[in-house]
Structure 1
Amino acid sequence: MKVNLKNGVDKLVFGMKQDDVVALYGKADKSFKDEDDNVVLLYNAQKLRLTFYVEEDLKLGYIVGSSEDLEVLDIKVIGRSVADVKKDFASKGLTKWTEEGFDTFENSFNEENWMILQGEFGDVIKLEVGAVFNDKDEFDWKFKK
């Protein structure tokens, strides 16, 4: 599954509504509201968690994935060492990371692409990508119907 930085994952595009996603992947395996009342859909087969922001008219704004099929810039990320993934990204010009650790987890955040590599025990276990902001500090929705 290709991660299209600043745009989405696979056929998913930031700014889609739930109906658009259901048309692509079918009914979610689970849905719930998070602590901010955002709607979250889980797709087990794709190993994706999709968040639709309530304050943005329930547009798809955040995607969390843990499938070993996820590729960023043609680089597989899940299940590989964080250091190796970041070295591969550096060869493609992606070098700015903010590091944060808690418990057994370590997050590497790239603000330019709104991407987080979550690692545990040195390996990437989860990839998170979100919609980016424009010059007016508003979401830059990519989905156009």
Structure 2
Amino acid sequence: MKINLKIGIDKLIFGMKQKDVSAIYGKPDRNYKDEEDNIIFAYNAFKIRLTFYKEEDFKLGYMVASSPELELFGNELINRNIAEVKKELTKKGLSKFTQEKFDTFENYFNEDNWIIFQTEFDEVVKFEIGAIINEKDEFDWKFGKK
């Protein structure tokens, strides 16, 4: 599953609606609302959770994935040492991360691409990516754009 920075993961593109996602991946294994009434789709086979924002007409705006098939710039991420991953990313010009620690977990956040690498015991266990907010303070939806 290829990560497309600022766009999405695999065939999932920020700005899609639930029907667009279901047409590609089928019915989710779980479909529920979070505490903010956003709609969440979870696909077990892809190990991915998708958030459709209520305040944005239920457009796909956030993805959390832990599939071992996730790759960025041709390199797998999950279960890899974060130092190795960061070294590879630096070569691609992605080197600015804010680090946050809690319990045995650490998050490495890159605001320019709105991505988070969550690690435990120095290994990447989860990847998160969110839709980019533009200079007008609006979401930069990619779906349907040419």
Q: Quick check: TM above 0.5?
A: yes
Secondary structure at the aligned position of 1:31 is classed as: strand
Q: How many angstroms does 1:54 deviate by?
A: 0.3
Alignment TM-score, normalising by the size of structure 2: 0.97
Counterpart residue number, 1:93: 93
Unaligned ranges ≥5, structure 1:
none
Match for residue 121 of structure 2?
A: 121
* Cα RMSD for the two superposed structures: 0.8
Q: Tell me what 1:21 maps to.
A: 21
C-alpha distance in structure 2 between counterparts of 1:55 and 1:73, whole Å: 32
Once residues 9 and 45 of structure 1 are traced to their aligned partners in structure 2, the CA distance between those partners, rounded to angstroms, is 15
Q: After superposition, where does 1:1-145 map in structure 2 within 5 Å?
A: 1-144=1-144
Report the alpha carbon displacement of residue 104 of structure 1 after superposing the two structures with TM.
1.1
Shift of 1:87: 0.6
**TM-score normalized with structure 1 length:** 0.98
- CA-to-aligned-CA distance 1:61-102 (integer Å, 9 cap, x gap): 000000011011212110101111001101111000000011
Secondary structure of 2:69's partner?
Answer: coil
Distance 2:64 2:39 in 1: 14
Deviations 1:4-46 (A, max 9, x none): 0000000000000000000000000001111111100000001
Q: How many residues align?
A: 145
Distance 1:36 1:98 in 2: 26
How big is each residue's C-alpha offset from its partner over 1:81-128, in whole Å with a ceiling of 9 and x where there is no partner?
111100110111100000001111100000000000000011000000
Amino acid at match of 1:98: T
SS at match of 1:112: coil
2:112 match: secondary structure: helix
Q: Unaligned stretches of 5+ in structure 2? A: none
Amino acid at match of 1:56: E
Q: Within 2, Cα distance between the matches of 1:15 and 1:83?
A: 32
Displacement over 2 Å in runs of 4+: none
